[in-house]
């Protein structure tokens, strides 16, 4: 018999950056736990194809699944889009801020454009999505906001200045919002994934190899994982689903302002 405290039946969720990878997997996982789920991503043909596949997987679980177009860097689009999601789903109880990018480069080579793109997506976009969702959650006296951060919210890494800064900021933003919104029955938490096998990671392999000597002391990516990650491999996105379901559930009613680190032991070293 399933544990009722993790049942999301009747809950309405929105997952950003859900065309593929972690976002798509978390969206489907929430549906498997009983939630109806809206998903969004950039409006490119590739992202729409991915969103269509995510929606199909959600509906295959017997739940309502819808896709909307939202670039979280476009702040003026966030509030009306989230209101649309609320109307289409019949409510909004859960927000998963997963949309994120990285621009890997030595600190001396980071451009203002790179910095702004990472911050606008990973931190600014997450804040304004949370703000828009909270405006809908406060009147109902209930909400779950989950920010997908990183193990690099806790530790640094060479050639990732903007990314580390954005994820560290996202973790402290999580804490600040949790203090403001706890009185309204809204919890705000984060998940801190370690290296996870996603299409974005695979696409970045060739680029990351260019920085191996500078950032890893000559170690290959696989060698770095063996040295820094007790698990000795990248994680599968499915290994993050349990954390998301817990933080989205009734069982997490007293858990707020926290980051649940799922990093294969990276930050335990």
Whether 152 is covered by a domain: the verdict is yes
Tell me how far CA of residue 72 lies from CA of 68, 101, 213, 263, in angstroms: 12, 11, 34, 26
Question: If you average pLDDT over residues 21-37, what whole number do you get?
Answer: 98
The per-residue pLDDT for range 71-129, each reduced to its tens digit, is 999 999 999 999 999 999 999 999 999 999 999 999 999 999 999 999 999 999 999 99
- Structure confidence at residue 42 as a pLDDT band (50, 70, 90): confident
Whether 230 is covered by a domain: the verdict is no
Whether 204 is covered by a domain: the verdict is no
Let me know if 163 is a catalytic residue: yes
Task: Give the separation between CA 103 and CA 220, rounded to whole angstroms.
Answer: 19
The per-residue pLDDT for range 123-146, each reduced to its tens digit, is 999 999 999 999 999 999 999 999
The per-residue pLDDT for range 187-206, each reduced to its tens digit, is 999 999 999 888 766 555 55
Measured in whole angstroms, the distance separating CA 19 from the mean position of its chain's CA atoms is: 12
Range of the domain at 174: 4-199+239-262
Whether 177 is covered by a domain: the verdict is yes
Whether 210 is covered by a domain: the verdict is no
Sheet strands (E) in 19-121 = 36-41, 65-69, 94-97
Question: If you average pLDDT over residues 224-230, what whole number do you get?
Answer: 77
The tally of domains found in the chain comes to 1
- Structure confidence at residue 209 as a pLDDT band (50, 70, 90): low
Whether 161 is covered by a domain: the verdict is yes
Q: Which residue has the tokens 């920010």?
A: 147
Task: Give the separation between CA 209 and CA 123, rounded to whole angstroms.
Answer: 27
Q: Which of 142, 163, 184, 246 is catalytic?
A: 163
The domain spanning residue 194 has which CATH number? 3.40.50.720
Percent above pLDDT 70 for the chain: 90
Question: If you average pLDDT over residues 36-65, what whole number do you get?
Answer: 95
Whether 233 is covered by a domain: the verdict is no
Whether 221 is covered by a domain: the verdict is no
């Amino acid at each position: 018999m399933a544990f009722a405290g993790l049942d999301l039946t009747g809950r309405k969720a929105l997952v950003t950056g859900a065309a593929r990878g972690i976002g798509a997997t978390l969206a489907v996982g929430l549906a498997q736990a009983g939630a109806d789920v809206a998903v969004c991503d950039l409006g490119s043909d590739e992202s729409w194809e991915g969103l269509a596949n995510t929606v199909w997987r959600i509906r295959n679980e017997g739940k309502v699944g819808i896709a909307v177009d939202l670039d979280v860097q476009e702040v003026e689009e966030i509030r009306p889009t989230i209101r649309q999601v609320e109307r289409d789903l019949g409510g909004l109880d859960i927000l998963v801020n997963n949309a994120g990018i990285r621009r890997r480069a030595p600190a001396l080579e980071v451009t203002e454009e790179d910095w702004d793109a990472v911050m606008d997506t990973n931190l600014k976009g997450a804040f304004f999505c949370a703000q828009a969702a909270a405006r809908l959650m406060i009147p109902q006296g209930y909400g779950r906001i989950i920010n997908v951060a990183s193990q690099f919210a806790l530790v640094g890494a060479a050639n990732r200045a903007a990314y580390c800064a954005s994820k560290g900021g996202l973790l402290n933003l999580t804490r600040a919002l949790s203090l403001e919104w706890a009185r309204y029955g809204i919890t705000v938490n984060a998940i801190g994934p370690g290296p996870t096998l996603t299409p974005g990671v695979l696409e970045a392999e060739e680029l990351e190899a260019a920085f191996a000597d500078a950032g890893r002391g000559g170690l290959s990516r696989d060698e770095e994982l063996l040295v820094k990650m007790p698990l000795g491999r990248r994680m599968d996105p499915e290994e993050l689903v349990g954390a998301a379901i817990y933080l989205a559930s009734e069982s997490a009613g007293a858990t707020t302002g926290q980051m649940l680190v799922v990093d294969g032991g990276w930050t335990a070293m």
